[in-house]
C-alpha cells in the first residue's frame, strides 16, 4: 500500500524546472558569447563554454525526468525513476570535457597573450548572465529538494557553481583591464577549468552512489525506526530493515515478527497499517513487509541478504 502521489502535491512539475533551465541556458550562452566576442577574454570564453554544458545537461535532465515519470511496465516493474542518474552522469562527463577544452585554450593564450577590448561592456553583459543563472539555480535547488530529484539538484548545484565561476572571471578580467597584466586572463581560465573538473567528479560520485542503491538518509531512516518503535510496545518485533533510493522514489523492506497464533488477516491488517504510516510520513515510498512468527527459529535466521547454513543457525534467546 502507498499513498497516491501527484505532481500537484508538490507544486510545479519536474518538467517545468527542466524547461526553465533550458531557457536560462540559451539566454546565458548568448550573453556570454557576446561578452567574449566584445572583449576577446579567454576567461569569458571559459565561462561561455560552461554554459554550453549547462544547456546540454538541461536537455539531458528534461529527457531523464520525462523518462523517470513513466509508470512501471512489464520490463521495468519498479518504475523508471533511476533514469535521473543518466542525466547526472551525462552532465559529469560533459563538464570534464568542457574543462579540457578550456585548459587547452588557456595554455595557448598563456604562450601568446592578447590584449582585451571593451572590458566594461563585456563585464556588464557577463554579470547579467550570472544574475539569470543565480536566480534559476535557487529555483532549481528548491524544486529539487521538494521533489527529491537528483537531476534537478545536480543542475541547480551546477548553475550555482557557474555563478561563482562567472564572478571569478569577471574579477579577473576587471583586474586585467586595471593592471594590464594579460597573463591573469588565461590563469583565471585555468582555475575555472580546475573548478569545473572538481564539480564533474563530485557529480559523478553522487551518480555512482545512486546507481549502487544507497540507503535512505539517516533522518529518513529515523522516521521509519520511530514508526517501528510505536508498534514494539505491543510486542511486535522488527528486523532486516533495508532501504534504497531510485531517483525520487524510496524503497523500504522489513521483516515484522508477530505471535504465531495470529490469523493471516490480523497480521495482514498490521502490515497495512505499518505501510500506511511510512508512506504517509515519506511520500513516494514503496514498502515491502514480510510477516514472520516470533516463536519460529527460521524467522530469525534470514536477517541478511543470504541465509546462514543450518550448522551456523543459533537460537535468538
Greatest mean pLDDT among 39-43, 76-80, 114-118, 139-143 lies in 139-143
CATH of the domain at 155: 1.20.1510.10
**What pLDDT is recorded for position 114?**
67
Q: Which domain holds residue 278?
A: 218-312
Last residue of a domain, one of 159, 186, 211: 211
**What pLDDT is recorded for position 280?**
92
Give yes or no: residues 57 and 177 share one domain: yes
**What is the residue-averaged pLDDT of the chain?**
79
Give yes or no: residues 11 and 86 share one domain: yes
**What pLDDT is recorded for position 74?**
80
**What pLDDT is recorded for position 9?**
40
**What pLDDT is recorded for position 254?**
93
pLDDT in tens, 27-62: 988 888 888 888 777 767 777 777 777 787 788 778
> How much is the average pLDDT of 295-310?
70
Give yes or no: residues 233 and 291 share one domain: yes
- Enumerate helices (H) and strands (E) in the chain, giving the number of each: 8, 3
Give yes or no: residues 106 and 195 share one domain: yes
Last residue of a domain, one of 172, 195, 211: 211
Residue 273 pLDDT exceeds 90: yes
C-alpha torsion 58→35→183→116, nearest 10: 170
Task: Print burial letters for 238-250: b (CB count within 10 Å at least 16), e (below 16).
Answer: bebeebebbbbbb
**What pLDDT is recorded for position 118?**
67
- Number of other CB atoms surrounding residue 151 within 10 Å: 33
> How much is the average pLDDT of 235-254?
88
- Number of other CB atoms surrounding residue 47 within 10 Å: 32
Kindly state the percentage of the chain with pLDDT values over 70.
88
The gap between the terminal CA atoms of the chain, to the nearest Å, is 33
Give yes or no: residues 152 and 27 share one domain: yes
**What pLDDT is recorded for position 13?**
78
The C-alpha cell 541465509 sits at 307
Q: What total number of domains does the chain contain?
A: 2
Give the residue, 212 or 317, on which the prediction is more confident: 212
Model confidence band, residue 3 (pLDDT cutoffs 50, 70, 90): very low
Range with lowest mean pLDDT among 59-68, 264-273, 277-286:
59-68
Which cell goes with 239? 528486523
Model confidence band, residue 7 (pLDDT cutoffs 50, 70, 90): very low
pLDDT in tens, 71-82: 888 888 778 777
Last residue of a domain, one of 165, 181, 211: 211
Give the residue, 88 or 249, on which the prediction is more confident: 249
Amino acid at each position: 500500500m502507498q499513498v497516491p502521489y501527484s505532481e500537484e502535491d508538490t507544486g510545479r512539475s519536474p518538467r517545468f524546472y527542466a524547461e526553465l533551465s533550458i531557457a536560462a541556458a540559451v539566454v546565458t550562452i548568448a550573453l556570454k558569447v557576446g561578452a567574449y566576442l566584445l572583449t576577446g577574454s579567454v576567461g569569458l570564453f571559459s565561462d561561455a563554454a560552461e554554459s554550453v554544458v549547462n544547456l546540454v545537461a538541461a536537455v539531458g535532465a528534461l529527457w531523464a525526468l520525462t523518462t523517470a515519470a513513466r509508470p512501471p511496465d512489464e520490463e521495468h516493474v519498479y518504475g523508471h525513476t533511476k533514469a535521473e542518474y543518466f542525466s547526472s552522469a551525462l552532465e559529469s562527463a560533459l563538464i570534464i570535457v568542457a574543462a579540457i577544452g578550456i585548459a587547452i585554450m588557456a595554455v595557448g593564450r598563456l604562450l601568446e597573450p592578447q590584449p582585451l577590448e571593451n572590458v566594461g561592456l563585456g563585464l556588464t553583459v557577463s554579470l547579467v548572465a550570472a544574475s539569470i543563472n543565480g536566480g534559476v539555480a535557487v529555483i532549481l535547488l528548491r524544486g529539487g529538494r521538494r521533489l527529491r530529484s537528483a537531476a534537478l539538484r545536480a543542475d541547480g548545484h551546477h548553475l550555482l557553481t557557474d555563478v561563482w565561476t562567472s564572478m571569478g572571471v569577471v574579477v579577473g578580467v576587471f583586474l586585467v583591464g586595471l593592471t594590464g597584466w594579460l597573463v591573469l586572463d588565461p590563469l583565471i581560465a585555468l582555475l575555472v577549468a580546475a573548478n569545473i573538473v572538481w564539480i564533474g567528479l563530485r557529480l559523478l560520485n553522487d551518480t555512482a552512489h545512486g546507481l549502487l542503491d544507497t540507503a535512505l538518509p539517516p533522518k529518513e531512516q529515523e522516521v521509519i525506526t520511530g514508526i517501528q518503535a510505536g508498534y514494539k510496545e505491543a510486542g511486535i518485533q522488527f528486523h532486516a530493515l533495508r532501504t534504497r533510493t531510485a531517483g525520487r522514489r524510496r524503497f523500504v523492506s522489513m521483516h515484522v515478527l508477530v505471535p504465531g497464533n495470529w490469523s493471516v488477516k490480523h497480521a495482514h491488517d498490521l502490515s497495512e497499517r505499518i505501510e500506511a504510516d511510512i508512506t504517509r510520513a515519506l511520500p513516494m515510498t514503496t514498502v515491502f513487509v514480510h510477516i514472520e512468527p516470533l516463536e519460529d527459529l527460521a524467522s530469525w535466521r534470514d536477517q541478511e541478504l543470504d541465509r546462514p547454513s543450518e550448522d551456523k543457525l543459533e537460537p535468538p534467546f
